[in-house]
Amino acid sequence: MNERHTHEEDQGCYVISVAARMVGMHAQSLRNYERMGLIQPGRSQGRVRLYSQADIERLRNIQRMVQDLGVNLAGVEVIMNMRERMQRMENEMDRLREELQEYRNRTLPAVKGRGTG
C-alpha cells in the first residue's frame, strides 16, 4: 500500500454514514476509531465529520487487520503508527539520496577535472 496521498485524496467529502456504508462498518465503529486516534476525519465548518478517500482506505486497512488477520485494535494502532514512521523514514531517505546525488553532481566533475592534465 502506498501511504502517499494526492491533495484530492485528502479532501473530506463523505459524511460518516456514507463512509461507514462504503467500508461496511457501523458509524459507531468509526467514532470509536476516531476516539482511539486510528482515524482523524476532517471537519466541516459545522463540525460534521468528513472522511476523505485516504480515510476510507485507512478504514479498509484497519478492517483487514481486524477481520482477516485477527489483530486487536491496540495492535492495529501499533501497526499503523509503525507504518507511518516507516513512511516518514523512507521519505527522509529519498530526500537524503537526492541531496547526496546533487552534491556528487557538483563535486565529482571538479575532481575528475583535476586528475586529468
Question: Is residue 30 within 8 Å of 19, Cβ to Cβ?
Answer: yes
Question: Is residue 44 within 8 Å of 54, Cβ to Cβ?
Answer: no
Rounded Cα gap, residues 39 and 60, in angstroms:
11
Rounded Cα gap, residues 27 and 19, in angstroms:
8
Q: What per-residue confidence (pLDDT) applies to 108? A: 84
Mean of pLDDT values over 16-29: 96
Domains and CATH numbers, the chain: 8-115 (1.10.1660.10)
Q: What per-residue confidence (pLDDT) applies to 8? A: 56
Mean of pLDDT values over 10-30: 93
Question: Which residues are bridge partners to 43 per DSSP?
Answer: 49
Question: Is residue 115 within 8 Å of 97, Cβ to Cβ?
Answer: no
